[in-house]
Each structure stands twice: as C-alpha cells, then as structure tokens.
Amino acid sequence: MAPGAPQGAPVSGISGGVPVDQGTAGGAGDKGLRGGSVGLLSSVVLGVSTVAPVYCLTATLGPTVTAVGVQMPAVFLAGFLPMLLVAFAYKELNKDFPDCGTSFTWGVRAFGPRVGWMAGWGLTVATIIVLSNLAGVATDFLYLMLGEMTGSSWVTELDQNKAVHLLTVVLLIAGATAMSYRGMTATKWFQYSLVGLQLAVLLLFSVIAIGKAASGDLPDSIGFSFSWLNPLEVSSFSAFTAGLSLSIFMYWGWDTCLTMNEETQGSAKTPGRAAMISMVTLVGSYLLVVIASQMFAGVGSTGNGLGNPATADNVFSALARPVLGSPWSILLFLAVVASAAASLQTTFIPVARTLLAMSAYRAVPPRFGAVHPRFRTPGYATVAAGIATAVFYVGMSLISENVVQDTILALGLMICFYYALTAFACVWYFRRSLRTGVRALLLKGVAPFVGGVLLTAVFLQTLTDAWAPDYGSGSVFGIGSVFVIGVGILLLGAGLMTWYGFIRPEFFRGETLHKDTPALVVED
C-alpha cells in the first residue's frame, strides 16, 4: 500500500454488471475472475508460452544478424538486462497492489489517469500486432509441415494463395479466441504439452547443430568465440539499438504471469516469481540456440547463412532439413506451429484482462468488463481482441505485405513505451519508501529506473533511425514508414483517450481509480 493511502475507502467500478465483494486491503478487489486457479508451474508455462520462443527465434535470428553480425548472442544478453530490471518493477508493484490491469493500473496510481491509460493502450496495441503476426507465422509453417509430411510441393504452395492464407489465419485466430474464452484451466495440459515440445525440440536442434559444426565438414560453419558475448564489439550504437529492439521483442510476453495475478494462488508473490523463472528459462534457451545456429550456418548472406535475406523471415525453414535431416525436420516445423498456436491462446490473456481492468475503472466502455458466469474469463474483451486481430491482419495484408512488416517493426516502439512507463511508475510509486533499506532502494528504485532509462534510450534511438526514409519498406512525405506507423498508433491512442474522456469523464477526473485507491467495490 502506498504511504498515506486511506484504508477501506470503496471506489466504484463496473464488472459486467455482476456484484462483487471488496477484495483484500492493498489489492484491487474481485472483478469476477476465478481466483486461485493458477499455480506457480502454470504461471511459468503461461509466461514461456506467451513469449513463443521457437516462433521468436525463427522470425528474429535473420534480422538480428543483419544488424549486428556475430555479436547476436551479446545483443540477446543485452536485451535480457532491461527486461530483468523491469521485471523487478512488476514484481514489487504486484506485491503491493496485485491487479490484472498491471501497467495500466500501476501507471494510473503513480502518474494519474492519462499516463496510465496510454500505458494500457500500448500494451493492447502491441498484443494485437503480435497476435496477428503469430497467426501469420503459424499458417506459414503449418503448410510447410503438411508439405513435408505429404512430400507434396503443391500442399506447401497453398500458403502462397492469399485467399487460402487469410482464411487459415482467420480460422486459427478464431480457434485461439475460443480456447482463451474457456480459460487457462480448461486447456492447461494442452499448454504444458506445447511448451514442453518447444523446449525439447530446441534442445535437440542445438545439440545436433553444434555436433555437426564441430565436425568441421560444413562450408559455412564458424568456431565459437567468447567475443560473440561482448556487446562492445557491435559496429555502431545505431546497429546495437536496432539489434536490441529486436532482442527486447524476443522477451516480450513474460508479463502475462502478472496479468493473471488475480487468478493465481498467492497473488502477491507467485506471479513475480513465475516471471523471473520464465525469463531465466528463455535467456538460457535463446543463447543455446543462437550459438548453435551461428556455429552451424555462419552469418553469411548466401546459402544457409543466417544473414541470407531470402530466409531472414523464417530461418528455421532453411535450417530444419540441413540440421535435423529428413524426416526429423518435421519436428522443427511442428515446434514452430506449436509455439505460435500456444502463444496465440495465451497472448489473449494480457489484452483481455487489461481491458477488463480498464472497464472496471470506467476507462473504456462497460461491455469490456463482462465476465463469463461459467468460465470466469473476460469473455467480451477476449472476443473483441480476436475480432480486432483478424480485422487488422486481413486489412493490412490486403493493403500491402510491406505494411504488415512495417507494423511489426513498429512493435518494438510499443513494447519499450509501456514497459518503460511501468518501470518509472514503480520508482515514483515507492519513492517515499526507498530509504527504508538497501533492498527497497535497489529493487524498487535503482533497478526499475535503470531498466526504464535503457528502454527509453532504445525507444528514442529507434524513433531517430525510423525517421529516415529508407527505414522500412518506404516513406511518407520523406519520413520512414515505420516512424509514421509507430507514432501514428500512439497518436491514435491519445485521440481515443481524449474522446472517451469527453463522453465519460469519471475515470479521468480520478473518481474511479487514483493514487490512493485501496480496493475496488463493484456496483450492481
């Protein structure tokens, strides 16, 4: 509880019109979710699943090598640092005020309604973009896998048909939406299986790749060097921040553990622990796969080289058969499909629960606060997110595939934006208690502040680079398309916030959630 906060003062909110009892002091109250349904293991699986490690690797290895060359392992380690520091902020904020709105709720309590609303907007938009890309990658690898299994190039080429591709994407989004609608407990073992499959295949791939590279029979392989782990050897700061932005995307999603805090056993401590375990699991897996891939294929721009622009979007599609051989290459295709499918389901969690919290505090329309009476999930928000994802992907694809890629590049801006806001919110929220001890100073002050500064630096450098007309697929009035899309998304959010504040001002006047809000009481 923030120093000086009054005890027990009820605050009105809305949660689908269902009367809910006041929560425990220092918490956010009951919004109708199924409390105590997620344990530590389930929470860790959620974090890893949402990040989708196999999908992230296949989509990011190529662009990262293009930016930083053999220093890719160093950049992945550097990307882990701000994520770890921000994770301390999430952990401490969740311990004091567990609320499924996470960045939105904590941003409001630290800096006021408008800053918190924009943090919620950043999370929501980033999630919609990621969900659409997950569905696209899952579709690509689904047809690659089916083609490999049947030995038919005709099946593989079905994905090149835009109508077939878009229909498959929409069906995958619909299926993931339906599963997320039913809740994590209904599909727990499905998630366990998919995450276990991903990690097992990555380990198998890495061991075989390192073994073949060590044999010395591969023309493109290179020997391991500890210099790969030195970020100071990256050619320029601009190249470093470009790679860092991509590596930050590689870790995005671990905060799903925190958005499930009101449904987790030991809501004040378990989500933070799960986030830390998830991140350690991810960084270990990433380093192993990155080093193995680099040793096996090198960083050249031809053949199997990781810098080959022809395979940059889907590196594993090029490496599956050379590393694992036939028919075992199917395992890697299956792992990518499993990774994207698992993440499709779990990535709905943060956006749906953020919208639920925003609705409960009257920051968005009341319908987003509707909780399904049987599944105890934010049903309306989940379906709305699914529809928005499908419309976004289909709309962008019909405009131009380049627009889809530019939007994905702009994703890093959204991630840095709301993570940095959350980190600074932690420092300001706990400012009066930083002198109570060394632990408080480090974990509530220094670590979050440094993490926020690092992410802000990446955000600003990316904006500077994206201004150039040759950054992305094109330019608009001489300004890079990625800059236009990224800034345009943030300005759109500011416009929607202003509009909603005009028609429903209660939240923005601090009547439903403010710095001293101890708990939520939902009106009938």
- What is d(CA 391, CA 394) in angstroms, rounded to the nearest whole number? 5
In this prediction, residues 288-311 reach a mean pLDDT of 90
Closest CA to 7 of 31, 28, 26: 26
Whether residue 4 is predicted with pLDDT greater than 60 in this model: the reply is no
What is the per-residue pLDDT for 15? 31
Whether residue 25 is predicted with pLDDT greater than 50 in this model: the reply is no
Is residue 324 helix, strand or coil?
A: helix
* CA dist 514 → 9, 510, 517 (Å): 12, 5, 5
Judged on CB neighbours under 10 Å (0-12, 13-18, 19+), 482 is buried
Domain extents for the chain? 52-509
Q: Which of 105-109, 179-183, 263-267, 268-272 has the highest mean pLDDT?
A: 105-109
pLDDT > 90 fraction of the chain, expressed in percent and rounded: 41
CATH label, 52-509, candidates 1.20.1740.10, 1.10.1060.10, 1.10.10.10, 1.10.8.60: 1.20.1740.10
> What tokens does 311 get?
């395979």
Q: What is the mean pLDDT of the chain?
A: 85
Contact (Cβ atoms closer than 8 angstroms) between residue 113 and residue 507: yes
In this prediction, residues 41-64 reach a mean pLDDT of 88
What is the per-residue pLDDT for 185? 65
Whether residue 524 is predicted with pLDDT greater than 60 in this model: the reply is no
Whether residue 365 is predicted with pLDDT greater than 90 in this model: the reply is yes
The secondary structure of residue 377, as a DSSP letter, is: S
Give residues with Cβ within 8 angstroms of 260, minimum separation 6.
Answer: 38, 43, 46, 100, 184, 271, 349, 353
In this prediction, residues 424-431 reach a mean pLDDT of 96
- What is d(CA 89, CA 401) in angstroms, rounded to the nearest whole number? 37
Alpha-helical runs (H) found in 151-267:
153-157, 162-182, 188-214, 237-251, 256-259
